[in-house]
Every structure is written in structure tokens, then in C-alpha cells.
């Protein structure tokens, strides 16, 4: 009461007509002050929470934009990685032709910023371009996959635009008035590389420069096995260019037999559910974002098993120490194999270590050709769904995933299907 009396005394004054402000005016002023203070507190809390969830608090911005030193990048790759393992396929490119169908859901739910974790080859670059994370880790059980991403990184280091990227990847010179240049539409870019001739001389020089860039600029020494893997991958793109595709080991692609996996050209020309292009090579600004993140050493490839005890644990510790939260985890359909290998429980524990928020989600590919699933995307062997990671862990703790099939039917957000996410 003394506090209110003091405030009444201070605020008590006369207007120009000599009238004393009434108690109601005082009360309105007090209420207005209280409302303004509360609004400021709510706004500050929301701003702080958003900054924390995006890994973008003001005190972090300058450090995050400065990039990771090459020596630190190399240390992370070497120290976080596990021993390489084997897989049944040759993953030069993705085999998920419907990978863009889930992009609108990412935008609709505002999944952006923070950290990204993924697996596999180039489709990660498209998801990175859409999520716009501040750091990304690409974790694959095959050491050759890590070497392939080192190759991509070296090409991004040298290629200012999409035309230069494909020129180096295919060892096709940029010459003549039809040569791709910045701002050229995708069809003209692809048509150029569809007809241009590859050069053995340029291939040899490009391979030499890629090795030099990895070892000197990235401070990452290549073993003799690494060099063999690098040469194999780079030669594969040189020989196949736009027809490069996913293949099952020991079963080279044949048009007359086997599954019809999409070519690199098909993946670049892929569209989402509304018919819009979305590949990182289709949109100039998307390419620029991925290139810049690479040049900051913020796309870090690792050798790691999702069901292992080292790589993902190291990533989780790094994200926490550097104040990142996990925004998107692209798992492809790796969980299918984790169930088969009886390592899914360790994978769940690895996810539990991550700095998660209500905005952290899984991007999952599931086999839907020949299997009934509400999220099936017609005409595609694999369909994409989302699942909030906190929902995933809650359901896992409730033992709702005794099998892989229980997992893929639980708590998903489909591209077109009604979400079965529990409220």
C-alpha cells in the first residue's frame, strides 16, 4: 500500500484546466505500464528462445560466420570418424526420386537454421539449401562416402557457380557462347553438359587439383586407399556424367534388367508435389548457400555408423559445446538396416544425446513400392516423411517401435497424407 501511495503522489498532477487527474486515469497508467513491461518480457523470452533453437544468438553470430579453420575441420573429420564399414550399394547419387516432395512441409513448419545431420551423397546439399543450417555433418558408414564428399567439397572450393561445378565434376570445358554462366536457366545449363565432350587431359588435371586441395587446403592427408576411392568416384562421374546413378554392388546398371534408379539428370530436374524445381543445382541461390557453407568448412563429412558409439556421440557433444540445436536429421532409410543389425537401440540413444527442441525433426525415406502406406507418393519407390525427434524419443521410450514397420507407421508427417502425429 505504501508503494501505491507513493506512486499516486508522484503521478498526481493538474491538467491545463486545473483539474486533478482521477483515480481511473492513474489506474489506466499503471495498467498500461504493466502491460508494456509484460509484453517486453514475453518478446525478450521469445527472441532468446528462437535464437537458442536456431543456434543464432547474437554472441555466436560472428564466430559462426567466420568459418572453421582448416586444421580444425581436418581434426574433426579424423577424430570423430569411426572405422569404415561396408554397404551393398554404390551411392554415387541418391536413389530417392521423391526427395523434394517433403520440402514444402519443411517450409510450412518453419524448420530452418541450427544444425543438420545427414547421410548419403548429393541429396544432402538440397536439404541443406532448404533448411539453411549454420553447420552440417554428413555421416556415412562407408569411408568412400566421406572421400566422395571431400571431392565435392574440393569442387565447391573452386567453382563459383553451377556451371563451373558441373564442368569440374564431368571434366568438360566451358567454351563457346552456349557455355553456362551465372543466371542461366537450368535447361540451358543441362543441355550444354549433355552435349559437351569430356576431356581426358582436363580430367587428369582436375583430379590432381582435387587431391591437392584436399591435402593442402583442407589439411586432410589421403591414404593410398583414399586416393584409390577418390579416383574411382571422380572417374565414375567423368565417364557417366549426367547418367551417373545409384547402383547395387556387383550388379552394374542395365536398361533391360534391375530397378530403374534415377540418373543424376533426373534428380536435378526433379520437382516437388507442385511441379516446382528444387535441386541445389536448379536454383542459383541454393547453390550459393551450399558453396559458402562448404567454404566456411561447415559441411563436415564423417565415417560413422548410426548405430555406433563414437561418431554421433562426438557430433552431439560438439553441437552442445558450440551452442547449436539440431534442426533436421536426414536418415534416409538407414533405420531399416539398424533394426536388421539389432543396433536401433543404440541409434535411439545417440539421438537422445543431441541438443533437441520441439523444432528438431527427422527426414525419413521409406520403401512404399509394393507396400501399403498412407504417405505413399505415387510413381516413386521411396516416399519421404517427417517426424519430430522429441515425439520419436517419447514413442521409443513407450516401446511403440518393436519393429521397423511400427516405426514408419507412427507419428509421421507425410507430403500429402494426413499427419498421424500425436497432439
Among 21-30, 85-94, 152-161, 257-266, where is mean pLDDT lowest?
A: 21-30
pLDDT digits (tens, 9 = 90+) for 18-64: 333 334 443 444 444 444 434 444 444 444 444 444 444 333 444 45
Strands 326-332 and 361-367: parallel
Q: Which residues pair with 413 in a beta bridge?
A: 386
pLDDT digits (tens, 9 = 90+) for 283-292: 999 999 999 9
- Greatest C-alpha distance within the chain: 98
In the predicted model, what is the mean pLDDT of residues 341-354? 97
Q: Is the pLDDT of residue 1 over 60?
A: no
> pLDDT: is 8 or 382 the higher one?
382
Q: For 306, which DSSP code?
A: T
Residue 379 has a pLDDT of: 86
Q: From CA 324, how far away is CA 347, in angstroms rounded?
A: 20
Q: From CA 65, how far away is CA 206, in angstroms rounded?
A: 29
In the predicted model, what is the mean pLDDT of residues 297-315? 97
Residue 247 has a pLDDT of: 73
> pLDDT: is 114 or 417 the higher one?
114
Residue 107 has a pLDDT of: 85
Phi, psi of 120 (to 5 degrees): 95, -170
Q: Is the pLDDT of residue 367 over 60?
A: yes
In the predicted model, what is the mean pLDDT of residues 220-237? 97
pTM value is: 0.83
Share the mean pLDDT of the chain.
84
Q: Is the pLDDT of residue 349 over 90?
A: yes
Q: 410: closest CA among 383, 387, 379, 376? A: 387
Give me the long-range contacts of 243-252 (CB less than 8 A, separation at least 24): 244/92, 244/93, 245/92, 245/93, 245/95, 246/89, 246/90, 246/91, 246/92, 246/93, 246/94, 246/95, 247/89, 247/90, 247/92, 248/88, 248/89, 248/90, 249/87, 249/88, 249/89, 249/90
Q: Are 138 and 128 in contact (CB under 8 A)?
A: no
Half-sphere CA count of 103, side-chain side, radius 13 A: 25
Q: From CA 334, how far away is CA 88, in angstroms rounded?
A: 12
For the chain, the 3-state helix, strand and coil shares in percent, each to the nearest 5, are 50, 10, 40
Amino acid at each position: 500500500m505504501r508503494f501505491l501511495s507513493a506512486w499516486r503522489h508522484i503521478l498526481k498532477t493538474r491538467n491545463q484546466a486545473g483539474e486533478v487527474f482521477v483515480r481511473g486515469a492513474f489506474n489506466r497508467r499503471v495498467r498500461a505500464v504493466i502491460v508494456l513491461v509484460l509484453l517486453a518480457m514475453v518478446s525478450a523470452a521469445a527472441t532468446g528462445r528462437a535464437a537458442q533453437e536456431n543456434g543464432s544468438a547474437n554472441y555466436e553470430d560472428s564466430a559462426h560466420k567466420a568459418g572453421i579453420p582448416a586444421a580444425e575441420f581436418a581434426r574433426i573429420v579424423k577424430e570423430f570418424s569411426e572405422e569404415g564399414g561396408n554397404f551393398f550399394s554404390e551411392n554415387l547419387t541418391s536413389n530417392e526420386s521423391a526427395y523434394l516432395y517433403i520440402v514444402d512441409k519443411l517450409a510450412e513448419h518453419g524448420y530452418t537454421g541450427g544444425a543438420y545431420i545427414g547421410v548419403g551423397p548429393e541429396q544432402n546439399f538440397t536439404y541443406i539449401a532448404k533448411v539453411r543450417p549454420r553447420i552440417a555433418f554428413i555421416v556415412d558408414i562407408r569411408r568412400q562416402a566421406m572421400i566422395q564428399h571431400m571431392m565435392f567439397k574440393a569442387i565447391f572450393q573452386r567453382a563459383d557457380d553451377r556451371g563451373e561445378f558441373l564442368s569440374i565434376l564431368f571434366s568438360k570445358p566451358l567454351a563457346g557462347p552456349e557455355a553456362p554462366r551465372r543466371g542461366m536457366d537450368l535447361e540451358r545449363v543441362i543441355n550444354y553438359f549433355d552435349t559437351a565432350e569430356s576431356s581426358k587431359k582436363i580430367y587428369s588435371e582436375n583430379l590432381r587439383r582435387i587431391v591437392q586441395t584436399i591435402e593442402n587446403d583442407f589439411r586432410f592427408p589421403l591414404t593410398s586407399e583414399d586416393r584409390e576411392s577418390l579416383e574411382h568416384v571422380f572417374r565414375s562421374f567423368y565417364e557417366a556424367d549426367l547418367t551417373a546413378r545409384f547402383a547395387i554392388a556387383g550388379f552394374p546398371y542395365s536398361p533391360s534388367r534391375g530397378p530403374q534408379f534415377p540418373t543424376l539428370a533426373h534428380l536435378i530436374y526433379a520437382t516437388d508435389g507442385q511441379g516446382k524445381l528444387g535441386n541445389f543445382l536448379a536454383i542459383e541461390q541454393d547453390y550459393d548457400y551450399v558453396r559458402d557453407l562448404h567454404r566456411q568448412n561447415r559441411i563436415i563429412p564423417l565415417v560413422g555408423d548410426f548405430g555406433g558409439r563414437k561418431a554421433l556421440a562426438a557430433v552431439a557433444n560438439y553441437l552442445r559445446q558450440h551452442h547449436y540445436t539440431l534442426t533436421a536429421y536426414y536418415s534416409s532409410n538407414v533405420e531399416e538396416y539398424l533394426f536388421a543389425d539389432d543396433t536401433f537401440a543404440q541409434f535411439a540413444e545417440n539421438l537422445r544425446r543431441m541438443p533437441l527442441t520441439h523444432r528438431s525433426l527427422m527426414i525419413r525415406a521409406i520403401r512404399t513400392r509394393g507396400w501399403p502406406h498412407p504417405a505413399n507418393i505415387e510413381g516413386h519407390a521411396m516416399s519421404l516423411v517427417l517426424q519430430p525427434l522429441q515425439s520419436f524419443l517419447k514413442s521409443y521410450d513407450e516401446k511403440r517401435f518393436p519393429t521397423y514397420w511400427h516405426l514408419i507407421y507412427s507419428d509421421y508427417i507425410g507430403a500429402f497424407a494426413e499427419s498421424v502425429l500425436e497432439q
